[in-house]
Structure 1
């Protein structure tokens, strides 16, 4: 775990206490991609699979965390990040510990978002995240969220 990963995990556990109870860990932040870990045991439901609410929360937090770290890299520290809208699908059950991944959007989308925020003090960004069962590359969960950054 690098310094940025430790920093984000500390922020999440302090500012969003639910993340501690979920056992959420920041696995990695590199090359514009964030990876989180969600343990099955802390998020298990009555069907012995991961609870849908935990999966939704993990997906939202991956996007929020990605945006938080990217803004920090850019030196933007005067904004507040909120999720405005989200769409999720659960094509496969999560039966093991899970990895939540949020890749970077296209560079031109990111640049436009940043320019809009600097000019107007408010901007929207769509981020995609997915969740896989440990040891699998198949997307068990797919999420698209619209995040708002405002002063």
Structure 2
């Protein structure tokens, strides 16, 4: 699908829904809002409690060695965290912008087959602390961990700090 997106023009937000978000609709919107998402190989999203999991195909992220390209994998980890915060905000009935403030990545093993990425708060109290900051100041920050598994092998660990901006 060719993107009609233009630099400097924000994409319309996905309208808030009552109750639980439809992850299929969210993934479709995500692919329209961020054109590179279509090339990331996301096959499925699942949300259980404070954990967001993606199942991904390796094929779109292959490097010259036939394993996962580090740049693609780190982009996926960063985006997974952004999605975690965006979906969490939506569950709170909030439509605020999210940006990544900083991130770090550590590779442990090559990615040699389709894989899964798991994202959860670095601190189990992170969501509560974020909710408090949003209530008090209208903005806040949360640190999330992303882990990439190829089978049972941990291949990548990432940590990202995500900022929720004040409502416009």
Distance 1:31 1:122 in 2: 22
Q: CA RMSD in A?
A: 1.7
1:106 CA drift (Å): 4.2
Q: 1:128 aligns with which of 136, 140, 145?
A: 145
Q: 1:70 aligns with which of 88, 92, 107?
A: 88
The count of residues paired between Structure 1 and Structure 2 equals 147
TM-score (normalizing by structure 2)? 0.81
TM-score (normalizing by structure 1)? 0.89
Greater relative contact order (Cα 8 A, min sep 6): structure 1 or 2? 1
Residue deviations 1:96-147 (CA, integer Å, cap 9, x gap): 11111112454532111111122212211100010011xx222100000000
Q: Which residue of 2 aligns with 1:111?
A: 128
1:7-86 alignment to 2 at 5 Å? Answer: 7-77=25-95, 79-86=96-103
Gaps of 5+ in 1: none
Q: Is the radius of gyration larger for structure 1 or structure 2?
A: 2
> Higher helix proportion, which one?
1
